[in-house]
Each structure stands twice: as structure tokens, then as C-alpha cells.
């Protein structure tokens, strides 16, 4: 009897010991949490309409093994800091505008050249397919695991007093610019490009510091400048690129099932969904701009061609600059254009 009691006691001790050793490891294996940080508000259309649904889809497919925790609104850093945060693993996943890291993603800027984008969805697909085709392009994001590339809807001209119907109307107008390419194009048009944070644009329009802006309808509504603007001129003038990336070491450390789920839901489908969401918000925000009193005016075909012709040298200059760096600028521009025309 004593021997039986000792055996039972030994078994209990063994079980308890095993639980003490395995317990911490079991708790760690339950759920992996990834921090997804970006500098934009949680009310941003793409945060609500694309990023959150993407995260939920990935979580569900992982069957409870993964949790994606969002830290929006600049909780971990300002615009332009997100990529560095992902590199340094301050955030596991990040989302931001590529142009906010000047010089970091030279080949990515191909889609930001003037008069390239008429549909955010189509441009996002074209950009991702081009990225997949060129190792030089992929190298720009080699320090992370890239999950998505996308473009916002095309920027349009919008003004407070004088409608823009021709190249002549643009001369001398003080217009808030959006990127280095739009600045160069505005200078070619004879306008005065003004660089400033978009948060200052409402006051600048109100005080006459600016005559107008180049901006997508989304931006006009988000920053309420549609309340001051009277005219808009559609032109497919420019777009900018958004990316989503995950820390490379963090991704490689994930269990195979989680990595597979993230892979299956990223790349082309993620890029396409992001672009489609921009197109949808572009259309809805345009209706809001019209409702607040903005009136549409248009370039004639002849005037539109004048603008396109004037900016052709900017594309040629971009190709030369890329190729001077040993990058296939010409091939990438032609590839993007081919995909845009599909």
C-alpha cells in the first residue's frame, strides 16, 4: 500500500513538473499578436474599408493563432516614419505613402509621373505586376516583406474663384502642390506651386495665400477644403503610392500556417482591393464635393493634350535619372504603361 501511494505521489509530481515547464510555452503558442501601425486616422476610408477587413480575414484563416492589433493615428510615428518603424520592428506591420520617404523608393515613383492614372484599381494592379517582374524594383523593399502597393484616385485641379478650363488659366495661379512631379508640372504650366502641409491648406485658401489645389476628392472632403472651393477640373493629373509591409525577421519567425495565410491574402489581391476602395471613395467623395457647391468645368481635348505634351519631358527625365543610377527606368515605365492599357 505504501509503495502504491509513493508511486501515485511520484506520478503527480511528474505531471506538475511537466506542466510547470510546458506552461509558459503553451501560453506563448496560443495567439501571436502583430502590431499594425500607421499615421492616418481610424476613420480613413482605406483603414476601415481595406486594412481592417484584410486583418480580420487573415485572423479568421489562422483559426485563432494570430491577432492583428491596429495602432492608427500616428500612435507610433508621423507620416514618413512608418517604413523605418517596420524595419526596426517598432511596429510589426506598417502602412504609409512611399513619397513621404524621399529618395527611398525611386522606381516606385514611376506611377506618380503626370497623367498616368485614371483608375486607382488599375494603377495598383499595374504597379504590383511591374514590381513582381523586376528584381531592381523588389530591392527597394528588400529590408522588409512587402505585402501591398497601391495608388489613390487621380488628383484634380480645384479653385476658389477662377475656373481652370485651359493652359492659359493656369498661368500665375498659386496652387498647393502634392509631390515633386506635380511641382515640376505646375511650373511647366506657368503656375506657382506652393508646398505646405495639407493641414494648413484650408486657412491658406481662406486667406487667399492659395488660389487652388491639386488633390483627389477624398482629400478635399477629409480636410474640408471643399467648403471653400468652387470649381473643379477633372484631369487625371497625378497619384501617389501607398505600401503595406511587415518586418522581415518577424515574418520569417512566424509559424508556416500563418505565413502561408498572409502570403495568400497579400500581393496582387491586396493591392487590387486597396485600389478599388480608393476608386469607390473617390466617387462618393466627388458627390459630396458637388453637394457642397463645387461646379465641374473641363479641359477641351486640345487643351488637355497641351498639358500632356508639356509634361512628356518629365517622363524622359525620370528615365534618364533612373538609368544613370543603373536602374531599368525605361523598361519599367513601358511595363507599367502596358499594364495600365490592358
From residue 283, alpha-carbon distances to 158, 195, 287 in Å are: 16, 27, 7
Given pLDDT bands bounded at 50, 70 and 90, which one contains residue 197? confident
Can you give the pLDDT at residue 44? 87
Q: Could you report the per-residue pLDDT of 46-99, keeping only the tens digit for each? A: 999 999 999 999 999 999 999 999 999 999 988 899 999 999 999 999 999 999
Check pLDDT > 70 for residue 22: no
Given pLDDT bands bounded at 50, 70 and 90, which one contains residue 30? confident
Write b or e for each residue in 93-109: b if 16 or more Cβ atoms lie within 10 A of its Cβ, otherwise e. bbbbbbbbbeeebbbbb
Q: Which percentage of the chain shows pLDDT scores above 70? A: 92
Between CA 138 and CA 162 the distance in angstroms is: 44
Q: Could you report the per-residue pLDDT of 278-300, keeping only the tens digit for each? A: 999 999 999 999 999 999 999 99
CA 313 to chain centroid: 26
Check pLDDT > 70 for residue 14: no
Given pLDDT bands bounded at 50, 70 and 90, which one contains residue 29? low
The whole-model pTM stands at: 0.88
Got the DSSP string for 184-217? HHHHHHT-EEE---GGGHHHHHHHTS-SEEEE-H
Q: Could you report the per-residue pLDDT of 200-212, keeping only the tens digit for each? A: 999 999 999 999 9
Can you give the pLDDT at residue 241? 97
From residue 102, alpha-carbon distances to 5, 105, 107, 208, 312 in Å are: 74, 7, 12, 29, 22
Q: Dihedral (C-alpha) 87, 91, 95, 100: value to the nearest 10 degrees?
A: -50
Given pLDDT bands bounded at 50, 70 and 90, which one contains residue 222? confident
Can you give the pLDDT at residue 230? 98
Between CA 109 and CA 107 the distance in angstroms is: 5
CA 219 to chain centroid: 14
Amino acid at each position: 500500500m505504501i509503495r502504491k501511494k509513493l508511486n501515485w505521489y511520484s506520478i503527480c509530481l511528474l505531471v506538475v513538473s511537466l506542466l510547470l515547464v510546458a506552461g509558459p510555452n503553451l501560453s506563448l503558442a496560443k495567439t501571436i499578436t502583430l502590431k499594425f501601425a500607421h499615421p492616418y486616422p481610424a476613420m480613413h476610408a482605406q483603414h476601415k474599408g481595406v486594412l481592417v477587413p484584410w486583418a480580420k480575414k487573415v485572423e479568421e484563416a489562422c483559426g485563432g493563432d494570430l491577432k492583428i492589433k491596429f495602432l492608427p493615428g500616428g500612435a507610433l510615428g508621423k507620416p514618413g516614419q512608418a517604413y523605418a518603424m517596420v524595419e526596426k520592428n517598432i511596429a510589426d506591420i506598417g502602412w504609409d505613402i512611399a513619397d513621404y520617404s524621399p529618395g527611398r523608393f525611386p522606381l516606385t515613383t514611376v506611377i506618380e509621373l503626370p497623367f498616368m492614372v485614371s483608375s486607382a484599381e488599375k494603377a495598383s494592379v499595374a504597379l504590383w505586376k511591374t514590381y513582381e517582374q523586376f528584381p531592381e524594383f523588389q530591392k527597394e523593399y528588400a529590408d522588409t516583406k512587402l505585402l501591398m502597393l497601391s495608388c489613390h484616385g487621380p488628383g484634380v485641379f480645384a479653385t476658389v474663384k477662377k475656373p481652370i478650363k485651359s493652359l492659359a488659366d493656369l498661368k500665375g495661379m498659386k496652387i498647393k502642390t502634392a509631390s515633386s512631379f506635380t511641382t515640376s508640372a505646375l511650373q511647366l504650366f506657368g503656375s506657382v506651386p506652393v508646398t505646405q502641409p495639407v493641414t494648413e491648406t484650408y486657412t491658406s485658401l481662406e486667406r487667399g495665400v492659395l488660389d487652388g489645389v491639386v488633390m483627389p476628392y477624398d482629400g478635399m472632403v477629409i480636410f474640408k477644403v471643399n467648403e471653400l472651393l468652387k470649381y473643379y477640373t477633372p484631369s487625371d493629373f497625378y497619384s501617389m503610392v501607398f505600401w503595406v509591409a511587415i518586418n522581415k525577421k518577424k515574418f520569417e519567425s512566424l509559424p508556416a500556417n500563418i505565413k502561408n495565410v498572409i502570403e495568400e491574402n497579400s500581393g496582387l489581391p491586396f493591392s487590387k482591393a486597396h485600389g478599388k476602395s480608393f476608386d469607390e471613395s473617390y466617387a462618393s467623395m466627388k458627390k459630396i464635393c458637388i453637394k457642397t457647391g463645387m461646379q465641374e468645368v473641363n479641359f477641351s481635348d486640345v487643351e488637355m493634350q497641351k498639358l500632356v505634351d508639356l509634361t512628356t519631358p518629365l517622363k524622359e527625365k525620370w528615365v534618364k535619372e533612373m538609368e544613370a543610377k543603373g536602374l531599368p527606368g525605361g523598361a519599367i515605365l513601358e511595363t507599367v504603361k502596358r499594364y495600365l492599357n490592358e
